[in-house]
Amino acid sequence: MWPTGTARPLARPKPSRRSTRSGGVIVKSKYRYVLPEIQALLASADLFAKATSEPTRYSYAAALLALGEQNPDVVSLDADVSKSMKTTMFAAKFPERSFNFGIAEQNMMAAAAGMATTGLIPFANTYAVFASMRALDMVRNSIHYPRLNVKIAASHSGITPGPDGVTHQAQEDLSIMRAIAGSTVIAPADPTS
């Protein structure tokens, strides 16, 4: 059927049920790794700003502050971007729960993983290009594979940070993070989402 020397298409495996503790039923949930209490808090309307033209990072900073007020285990980690991401509000209110790692995203992600193993809920804040590329090894191996409760807030995605130059632009950040097993990627479109 196939001429000699030509590649045959790969056979597609038939879907099958694998043996699991739940009897082979695989339950898929879009937000299965979000803690129920944080999910409920994020669903509350008072966390978010009314529709405005302000940057999304202002709403993120307000939501992070509200989470910090309600849960003492929430900590904020920055890679020298606290002014850009407006997490200075969290640092002013909770200086003992705010950590700046300088331009060391890899160290920040490794520390976030360590903090999560102690029961803290780290929010690691940096630009999208640095979270998805510079710190990818730590994100993949230290956070996602052990399924730790670390939230990575990646700002300035795409080509929006034009004045900062191409080194700060990330066109592939979403696809990189979505390709990691066990990750949930949420990309808000505006301050209210």
Phi-psi region of 123 (alpha: psi -120 to 50; beta: other; left: phi over 0): beta
Model confidence pLDDT, tens digit, residues 24-47: 444 444 444 445 656 666 665 455
Where do the structural domains in the chain lie, given as residue ranges?
57-178
**Which is more confident, 191 or 145?**
145
The second-level CATH assignment, the architecture, of 57-178 is 3-Layer(aba) Sandwich (3.40)
Model confidence pLDDT, tens digit, residues 109-158: 999 999 999 999 999 999 888 888 888 899 999 999 999 999 998 887 77
pTM: 0.69
